[in-house]
Amino acid sequence: MNEPKDEVRIEMPDDREHDESARLLGNQNAPTAESQERALARQKDSLIKNLENRTGPEVQESFPQGSELQVEPEKPKRPVVKHELELDLKNPPFNVFKLYRMKGDKRIDVGEWKGGLKILSAKNKEPKDDLNKIFAPTEYHVRLYILEAFQLVPKDADGSNDPYLIVRCGNQVFDRIDLRKEGTSRPGFFDVIQFNTTFPTASSVTVEVWDYDLGSASDLIGRTRLDLESRINCPDWKALSPMKPIEYRTLWNPSSANAQGQIAMWVDIMTPQEARTIPVENITPPAPVDYELRCIVWETRKVPFKDATMSDIFVTAYPEGAKPQYTDTHWRSENGEGKFNWRMNFRVTVPNAIPKFKVQIWDKDILNPNDAIAEANLNLRTFYMNTWNKKLSSAQLTRQWCVLSHPSSSTSMGEISLSFDLLTLEEASRRPAGKGREGPDALLPPVRPETSFNPFGNPFKSFQHILWGQNKGKIIGSCVVCCLLLIGLFVLLFFLRIL
């Protein structure tokens, strides 16, 4: 029996292409421009939801007041769109149809067909478009400005990547493995890749992000494809300002139906003659700067008890990747409050791939492991970046209350009062400050109630506040009973001796 021949099928990729085909073929029931707008909006929403649903934080991030409100980021001069730019180009010059080959019940993607369909009246036998101009081989100069990638799906066992770029256009391949970034899922590439190509022969550019592996083959994280020919022939593209917008393009991998991250970039297309007169933009960011981050833990409130009627509260805090530092312990907190006045100093580098600052409240146990009560992940990215971008020698987030939570609880698990100072190392050496409550610039000891003490280090206070304070009546009653028993014993012995 002869096997059935492979069949090639054409499939419409989305509602927008279906609507456009209906309009070109003269369908009177073709969807309106409003319906096309809705289709584009659905496409954008689906991309965003795909990224949001891929991962979930164990504790939701929060932004300290001032990191987002009091210190405003510098507004970029270049416009930004948070999706693929082609989703905003409403009058594409071509229609794109996906091509598939059926092998049994399996559908195999074999490419796409790009073209245009138009129906002309008998009076207008010649199309208005200059087809000879469109299809004539034309040389262009392309510049890809690739800024950064983010939310990359980790490929390494430690949950990170060593990403680098590969760009392909026709037979040209630009491999940036020597410029790879190490141990990050938010790499800053800041790379300009430029080349000459001919339309329509080689008009499709693919930007790929790979994970480098020492001793084995690199892993593809994801890729995105740009149709340059459709852009250069699109009226909406030509109508954009000379400064083309930064677009956030979603990265896809053939092995997964989920988004693998996003990449921020923009593209300029020009003639070779224009390229000789238009300089390449310098997108190299300023060099990273080392800072000293000072965090003061002032106090806590509304902290739930871990023991029956109290908690022995202490706090740990650290920026992502640093060693945690600890406050002393506020013993026997009977109202959920803890007083500390405790400074912690850390070294941080900005830009920072993971600008999170973790704060945790614990209950101290002497004989058993300490109990975690609550935590918060503070996002300091804007605070860091504004200090760095504006080349400030110091910046401050004033004292404020931050709400803490716990992965196992949907309600608040307490609040903590913090303040932050970010100083260059030169400024930090000029204005030194000690850790804890030590000098220079020492902090005053906190005012704690008399009931706050280490019960194992103060036996007299333990008796006074624990045994006596809670069992005063029982102790007095017991003493009275013992005294009466002793008196009765002496009386009994006295009468026995007389007899």
Note whether 100 and 164 are same-domain residues.
Answer: yes
**What percent of the chain has a predicted confidence (pLDDT) above 90?**
47
- Do 225 and 353 fall into the same domain? no
Q: How many domains does the chain have?
A: 2
Q: Which long-range contacts (CB under 8 A, 24 or more apart) does 96-100 make?
A: 96/13, 96/17, 96/227, 96/230, 97/10, 97/11, 97/12, 97/13, 97/17, 98/10, 98/11, 98/12, 98/13, 99/8, 99/9, 99/10, 99/11, 100/8, 100/9, 100/11
Residue finishing a domain among 222, 254, 277? 277
Would you give the DSSP letter of residue 70?
T
| pLDDT, tens digit, 9 for 90 and up, residues 258-302 | 999 999 999 999 999 999 999 999 998 878 999 999 999 999 999
Predicted confidence (pLDDT) at residue 370 exceeds the cutoff of 80: yes
**Judgement on whether residues 234 and 327 belong to the same structural domain of the protein:** no
**pLDDT, position 23:** 35
pLDDT given at position 5: 40
In a domain, 218, yes or no: yes
Q: Is the pLDDT of residue 236 over 50?
A: yes
Instruction: For residue 7, give every residue at least 6 positions away whose Cβ sits within 8 Å of its Cβ, in sequence order, or none.
Output: 101, 102
| Residue 58 confidence (pLDDT) above 70 | no
Note whether 385 and 267 are same-domain residues: no
- Average pLDDT of the segment spanning 123-148: 79
Which range among 7-16, 307-316, 382-391 has the greatest average pLDDT? 382-391
Cα(211)–Cα(190) distance, rounded to whole angstroms? 17
Would you state the pLDDT for residue 417? 96
What is the residue whose two structure tokens read 């200059």?
130
| CATH at residue 273 | 2.60.40.150
Q: Please give the distance of CA 11 from its chain centroid, rounded to a whole number.
A: 36
Residue 445 domain flag: no
Residue that finishes a domain, picked among 430, 458, 474: 430
Between helix 33-52 and helix 15-24 the angle, nearest 10°, is 160
213-217 mean pLDDT = 88
Least confident of 14-28, 106-120, 214-228: 14-28
Q: What is the pLDDT of residue 354?
A: 80
At 191 the pLDDT is: 96
Both 307 and 185 in a single domain? no
Q: What is the pLDDT of residues 426-456, one digit of tens each?
A: 999 999 999 999 999 999 999 988 775 555 5
Tell whether 74 is covered by a domain: yes
**Per-residue pLDDT at 206 exceeds 90:** yes
Band of pLDDT at residue 115, cut at 50, 70 and 90: confident
Model pLDDT, residue 119:
72
Domain limit, last residue, from 430, 447, 472: 430
Q: Quick check: is 1 in a domain? A: no
Looking at residue 262, its pLDDT comes to: 97
Instruction: Pick 461 or 264 by higher pLDDT.
Output: 264
Evaluate whether residue 320 is within a structural domain.
yes
Mean pLDDT (whole number) for 356-362? 95
Neighbours of 232 (CB within 10 A): 18
What single-letter amino acid sits at 196? N
Look at 121-130, 279-288, 426-435, 482-491 and tell me which has the smallest mean pLDDT. 121-130
Q: Radius of gyration over alpha carbons of the chain, in Å?
A: 34
Mean pLDDT in the chain? Answer: 80
What was the pLDDT predicted at 17?
37
Residue 458 lies in a domain: no
Residues 177 and 85 in one domain: yes
Q: 393: domain range?
A: 289-430
Query: Token match 């050496």: residue?
Result: 429
- 136-145, 203-212, 350-359, 410-419: least confident range: 350-359
- d(CA 42, CA 194) in angstroms, rounded, equals 33
Distance CA 229, CA 414 (A): 57
Cβ neighbours for 173, distance < 8 A, ≥ 6 positions apart: 166, 167
Q: Convert the pLDDT of each residue in 77-94 to its tens digit.
A: 789 999 999 999 887 777
**Contact status, residue 327 vs residue 458, Cβ threshold 8 Å:** no
